[in-house]
Amino acid sequence: MERRLIQIAKILSTVFSPLYMPILAFLWLFFFSFLRMYPMQYKLLVLLIVFTFTIFIPHFSIGLFRRLNRWTHLQLSHREHRHMPYVLTLLSYSACLLLFTRMNTAMFFRGIILSALAAQIICVVVNIFWKVSTRMVGIGGLLGIIIAFSDIFMYNPVWPTCGLLLLSGALGTSRMVLRQHTLSQVLVGFLIGFFCSQLFLLFAWI
């Protein structure tokens, strides 16, 4: 039973990487809001840009950095080893935001990337003296984005909110089961992601 619980926790931790949250937010926008009326070519272009700068480049650069230092995934998760992965991710997200600005995309597109960028900057600062769960930052940010969109586009977010809250609980539990984080680190990470997305998306819309 304990072994199965650990396996489930590992699967949840792998599937819900914090790097996947921005593209999940864009998928939600393009297929579950009125933005589904956008031309498919435009949606695919935006999704490709988001995938490249928020998933592919960070994964590739962090993986290369880990191999050069001959660290395991567990060693990379140590607080003192997390600075460079944060920096590499911040640079890639900043490039994505700059490209969206040059393309003159909608402000709430940039708001998604900006909120993720702000949350990561906070994590970098906090990581100097403490460790927070970046996976919970990601899931909290996704929940905040969906609730912010409900205010912007005037729809009822009850079901996706309930689903994400349950998923957040499962993900936070998995991080504690794997002994990667404490309860306080899980909760603080969730709140960082949630409030950053709320603040920057609603501000971007104004």
Q: 55-75: per-residue pLDDT in tens?
A: 999 988 887 877 777 666 555
pLDDT at 67: 78
82: CB partners within 8 A, 6+ apart: 76, 127, 131
Instruction: Report which of 49, 45, 30, 28 is spatially closest to residue 96, judged by C-alpha positions.
Output: 49
- Cβ-count burial of 167 within 10 angstroms (0-12 exposed, 13-18 middle, 19+ buried)? middle
| Ranges of the chain whose pLDDT falls below 70 | 1, 70-83, 203-206
Q: Compute φ and ψ for 143, nearest 5 degrees.
A: -65, -45
Instruction: Report which of 17, 21, 15 is spatially closest to residue 197, judged by C-alpha positions.
Output: 21
> How far apart (Å, rounded) are the C-alpha atoms in residues 162 and 150?
14
Structure tokens at 138: 């990601």
DSSP the chain: -HHHHHHHHHHHHHHT-GGGHHHHHHHHHHHHSGGGGS-HHHHHHHHHHHHIIIIIHHHHHHHHHHHHHT--HHHHTSGGG-HHHHHHHHHHHHHHHHHHHHHT--HHHHHHHHHHHHHHHHHHHHHTT----HHHHHHHHHHHHHHHHHHHHT---HHHHHHHHHHHHHHHHHHHHTTS--HHHHHHHHHHHHHHHHHHHHHHH-
pLDDT at 68: 76
pLDDT at 29: 86
Is residue 24 within 8 Å of residue 145, measured between CB atoms? no
pLDDT at 1: 63
